[in-house]
Chain A
Amino acid sequence: MTTHPIDEHVHELGMPAFDQRIADAVARSVELGGEKQTSLKAKDLKTDQEVRWCPGCGDYVILNAVQSFLPSLGIAREDMVIVSGIGCSSRFPYYMNTYGMHSIHGRAPAIATGLAASRPDLSVWVVTGDGDALSIGGNHLIHTLRRNVNLTILLFNNRIYGLTKGQYSPTSEIGKVTKSTPMGSLDHPFNPVSLALGADATFVGRAMDSDRKGLTDVLRQAAEHQGTALVEIYQNCNIFNDGAFELLKDPLTGTQWSIPLVHGEKLVFGPDGASCVVADGWGGLRIAETNQVDEADIVVHDAHRTDPAYAFALSRLSHQDLRYTPMGVFRSVRKPTYDAMMTDQLADARSGQPADLDALLRGSDTWTVD
């Protein structure tokens, strides 16, 4: 297990975490409404809005899991903000009694970046889908990841466009027959985890909508991560792509084809641990029969490796048909966050030079007319 080489970079903020007028408004609301409530129950996070996903949609399961898990973070609901884009999953904020913005297609990471960078005191979440995050919003996603803004991004991947009624998405398998591809799609799909790691994401995880325990575990680690955390959540669209993840959900085949990622443990999986992951040439990884390899050659999962190549190799084990899909946390490393560094720069600037507006406006070359 590697250590975190930059632990010492955890920031001591040299200025108020947010600006005075905003702090005053928050303080006034506490004065009027009582102390911030950090011990919540799931029901405290529900709104009066009727949830309008299709009956049987995987989104319900994820919503329940998030509402059950969030109180354990000890964050007041007014300090949480959920920003979403467009798509079925992006209705999420309406059902959460936090602050929220249901924005425009693909742009949630950009909007959330501005919010998180100017308000480091908030817990900012992005809820997005495979079309929203990887097609129209692909650019914002990769740049948010490389900047390492303090955000948690939940990417609901159902491998289909649901809200527009069933076109193939950037994660649909090649040959997908949909309304817009009657002879099968021609596009090679993105692997969202590989994409995120290619952008040097500091935290990348994957979970299944129906696996409450696994999902909660990844969400908790993501929420505790300082920096951008991307969690790909496989989510069943029972209307337009039903059973897309059945291979992994079915108790029999699921054990055979999922690779559970547990930090510090050997990558052994399948019925009776029959399969394992070993190093391949050229820095890659491959699947092997456990009884055919030296036990010492079996890879021990290390999510904290600084070099993303290992996590990337893990992400490449899976196939488009979902065989050999690692589930869990691929990578979790520490780097300074964008918002903390921005706050530091402002504090540095303030310590070096007083904010004197008159002096700024005068500049260095003035003349006086009497």
Chain B
Amino acid sequence: MTHSTPEQAPVEAPPSAPGGLVKSVVQLDRVVIRLAGDSGDGMQLTGNRFTSETASFGNDLSTLPNFPAEIRAPTGTLAGVSSFQLHFADHDIMTPGDAPDVLVVMNPAALKANLADLPGGGLLIADSDEFTPRNLAKVGYAENPLEDGSLDGWQLVSVPLTSMTTDALADSGLGKKEAERSKNMFTLGLLSWMYHRPTEGTVRFLERQFRKKPEIAAANIAAFRAGFNYGETTEAFAVSYEIKPAPMAPGTYRNISGNQALAYGLVAAGQRSGLPVFLGAYPITPASDVLHEMSKHKAFGVRTYQAEDEIAGIGAALGASFGGALGVTTTSGPGVALKAETIGLAVMTELPLVIVDVQRGGPSTGLPTKTEQSDLLQAMFGRNGEAPVPVVAPRSPGDCFDAAIEAARIALTYRTPVFLLSDGYLANGAEPWSVPAADTLPDLRVEFATEPNGPDGEFLPYLRDPETLARPWAVPGTKGLQHRIGGLEKADGTGNISYDPANHDFMTRTRQAKIDGIAASLPPTEVDDPDGDARVAVIGWGSTYGPIGAACRRIRRSGRSIAQVHLRHINPMPADLGDILRSYDRVVCPEMNLGQLALLLRAKYLVDVQSHTQVRGLPFRAAELAAVLQDVIDSTVTPTTASEVTP
């Protein structure tokens, strides 16, 4: 694959003349497209297909699906609007984009819910067939906005997508209703033409998807091609756009979503540890896709168990860990609340267990399909007693793979439950992922106990490894090592029930020391400060990595310096973090909660961390974050210096 230098500005390319029309091709360096329609219109599928085409073309990309919790909200209402935003570029990008350049709306509700996000002058494509008096009235439009001039501030292209789809399928033998359902593929075809996307993948996908219904496959492919051909021949679109592939490090790439990467990480952890993986889970948005993905990989010895409730899910996983498996449970915030008591039991019994929390808006049922980072303190402290649990967080969809392996490493090495805190944005978002070779992944092998370890030939289940403080893992079936574990306080060494005050104090501090000691196995904290003279640092964790990184680039482009620190490990934190934070004049911590990491950092390091928070169910916008950071920088440096660096 060859790469051209990223274009800095759109450049007119020589016009081509398909279908007798003179059409020009414009070079762009990046585009943000948002597709919006009814939750039954297939916007997520359309978005995912466009993403796959874009990935296979070689652009860098980032996606943001946004959909209601209701499977089929009332048709044509604001509550039922589902959208999918895709940012793709000829260079490395970090976010799904703050605002769309192109908005496609399938009905008046989609227009009403999304228009405010489309900057003036942006391209707006609307399915004019759906702008009926009834649909307009449903969302309170007195006049048809496609016709009353109210959209004059945008480049409006009104296209009868629905009727063109049914016309294209007139000979397909499908009824009108059925034919209409292919309008998302017509739209995908149109966009594929507009952005020069490769189409073979989508055709293959449709053939595969509707293998058992060839007439439906044929209709969708026909609609897809009709949309593409319409773009090529219509006068409505005079321009198409080319976004060159992005330069990437050599390697094999694929497109991957966070939940898929996380599941692959767990499968890989099983393979690299040589242990069977047992996933106990109860369906919950937005974590269910991890269960779905894992259930496909039985050939790797992965056992998946859909339990009767969240408690049984983690209970079964812990039981499997006792038996020598890598026990895993997957859930979201409300499920974590239910699992708390079992996590405490895992802390007490000191068995490996990975608890995946794909966070969503809370409290209570909250916003099931929207993203948030508000379970951090629940993960840290949401148990009775002193019950420390390591916390690991991925920073991007592809990074969910590495984070899952790291969570498994800690669980297996230290014999402890570990939280893996993903979120809805990472779970459903996608990006190109450099596929690692299996034999380069970390070696996670651990030794089971096979012989007595006591001075008198007895087995002491709580005799610890002096370095890791992990206790031996003796699985049932091992001769001579029969022992009993449980939730009651254990006597040091023997593991027998103990109510002794000094023993409880010792064991409580030892369990804490074991978790604190994990810091010794962590690499030094990476500080991204290319200028090397930053006086302000921004620190984050989890899925805010992309928006914070994009904001930092903007800051640096404006001539200012800023340091970015992003935490993979939140418990324990890296040993060098306190010194790093203290070396800056100001530290800003953006989070999608009300300041949970900031609270921890202030408590632990006595650093005056400035919290910047947002809980809108959506990721930060890079431009807004950049403005916040710029204010901090400009109020930190002296006035003379400020004038020097202002561009």
A, B from the same assembly: yes
A residues in contact (CB < 8 Å) with B: 18-22, 25-26, 28-30, 32-34, 36, 47, 49, 76-81, 83, 86, 93-94, 96-104, 107, 110-119, 121-122, 139-140, 143, 342, 345-346, 348-350, 352-355, 357-358, 360-363, 365-370
Q: Which chain B residues lie closer than 8 Å to A352 at the CB level?
A: 299
User: Beyond A140-B312, A361-B438, is A94–B497 a contact (Cβ under 8 Å)?
Assistant: yes
Q: Which chain A residues lie closer than 8 Å to B420 at the CB level?
A: none
Could you say which of B254, B307, B476, B488 contacts A119, with CB atoms under 8 Å apart? Answer: B476
Q: How many CB-defined contacts (below 8 Å) exist between A and B?
A: 248
Q: Is A101 within 8 A of B486, CB to CB?
A: yes
Q: How far is A305 from B373 in the complex, measured between Cα atoms in Å?
A: 54
Q: Is B52 within 8 A of A369, CB to CB?
A: no
Could you say which of B297, B320, B321 contacts A360, with CB atoms under 8 Å apart? Answer: B297
Could you say which of A21, A22, A79, A113 contacts B305, with CB atoms under 8 Å apart? Answer: A113
Q: How far is A96 from B475 in the complex, measured between Cα atoms in Å?
A: 16
Q: Is A122 within 8 A of B476, CB to CB?
A: yes
Q: How far is A366 from B297 in the complex, measured between Cα atoms in Å?
A: 20
Q: Is A119 within 8 A of B497, CB to CB?
A: no
User: Beyond A25-B475, A32-B450, A101-B484, is A114–B280 a contact (Cβ under 8 Å)?
Assistant: yes
Q: How far is A351 from B483 in the complex, measured between Cα atoms in Å?
A: 37
Q: How far is A112 from B488 in the complex, measured between Cα atoms in Å?
A: 18
Q: How far is A363 from B432 in the complex, measured between Cα atoms in Å?
A: 13
Q: Which chain A residues lie closer than 8 Å to B323 at the CB level?
A: 22, 114-115, 118-119, 122
Q: Is B316 within 8 A of A110, CB to CB?
A: yes
A/B interface sample: 20 pairs, CB < 8 A: A19-B276, A26-B479, A29-B480, A47-B484, A101-B484, A103-B487, A110-B307, A111-B319, A113-B305, A117-B305, A139-B312, A143-B307, A346-B299, A350-B299, A352-B299, A355-B299, A362-B252, A366-B435, A367-B58, A369-B1
Q: Which chain A residues lie closer than 8 Å to B327 at the CB level?
A: 114
Q: Is B319 within 8 A of A78, CB to CB?
A: no
B216 on the A face (CB < 8 A): no
* Chain B nearest CB, measured from A28 CB (Å): 4
Q: Is B320 within 8 A of A117, CB to CB?
A: yes
Instruction: Identify which of B6-14, B131-139, B267-275 touches chain A.
Output: B267-275
Q: How far is A244 from B92 in the complex, measured between Cα atoms in Å?
A: 75
Q: Which chain A residues lie closer than 8 Å to B276 at the CB level?
A: 19, 22, 118
Q: Which chain A residues lie closer than 8 Å to B544 at the CB level?
A: none
Q: Is A361 within 8 A of B435, CB to CB?
A: yes
Chain B residues 237 to 273 lying within 8 A of chain A, measured CB to CB, are 248-255, 264, 267-268, 271
Q: Which chain A residues lie closer than 8 Å to B529 at the CB level?
A: none
B601 on the A face (CB < 8 A): no
Q: Is A25 within 8 A of B324, CB to CB?
A: yes
Known: A111-B318, A114-B321, A370-B1. 13 other contacts (CB 8 A): A29-B480, A33-B480, A83-B319, A99-B484, A103-B487, A116-B319, A122-B477, A139-B308, A342-B303, A358-B437, A361-B264, A367-B56, A369-B250
Against A, the Cβ 8 Å flags (1 = close, 0 = not) of B478-518 are: 11111111111000000011000000000000000000000
Q: Which chain B residues lie closer than 8 Å to A83 at the CB level?
A: 319
Chain B residues 465 to 480 lying within 8 A of chain A, measured CB to CB, are 475-480
Nearest 6 CB-CB pairs, A to B? Answer: A102-B486, A114-B316, A114-B319, A110-B315, A349-B298, A25-B448
* Chain B nearest CB, measured from A19 CB (Å): 4
User: Beyond A101-B484, A346-B303, is A78–B297 a contact (Cβ under 8 Å)?
Assistant: no
Q: Is B342 within 8 A of A104, CB to CB?
A: yes
Q: How many of B's residues come within 8 Å of A, CB to CB?
A: 76
* Chain B nearest CB, measured from A248 CB (Å): 33
User: Beyond A119-B476, A361-B435, is A33–B451 a contact (Cβ under 8 Å)?
Assistant: yes
Q: Is B308 within 8 A of A361, CB to CB?
A: no
Q: Which chain B residues lie closer than 8 Å to A81 at the CB level?
A: 322, 476
Q: Is A119 within 8 A of B58, CB to CB?
A: no
Q: Which chain A residues lie closer than 8 Å to B56 at the CB level?
A: 365, 367
Q: Is B478 within 8 A of A78, CB to CB?
A: yes
Residue of B nearest to A81 (CB): B476
Q: Is B478 within 8 A of A111, CB to CB?
A: no
Q: Which chain B residues lie closer than 8 Å to A118 at the CB level?
A: 276, 278, 303, 319-320, 323-325
Q: Which chain B residues lie closer than 8 Å to A26 at the CB level?
A: 475, 477-479
Q: Which chain B residues lie closer than 8 Å to A353 at the CB level?
A: 299
Residue of A nearest to B449 (CB): A25
Q: Which chain B residues lie closer than 8 Å to A22 at the CB level?
A: 275-276, 323-324, 448, 475, 477
B618 on the A face (CB < 8 A): no
Q: Is A94 within 8 A of B275, CB to CB?
A: no
Q: How far is A121 from B276 in the complex, measured between Cα atoms in Å?
A: 15
Q: Is B315 within 8 A of A367, CB to CB?
A: no
User: Beyond A115-B322, A362-B252, is A99–B483 a contact (Cβ under 8 Å)?
Assistant: yes
User: Beyond A122-B323, A349-B298, A352-B299, is A100–B342 a contact (Cβ under 8 Å)?
Assistant: no
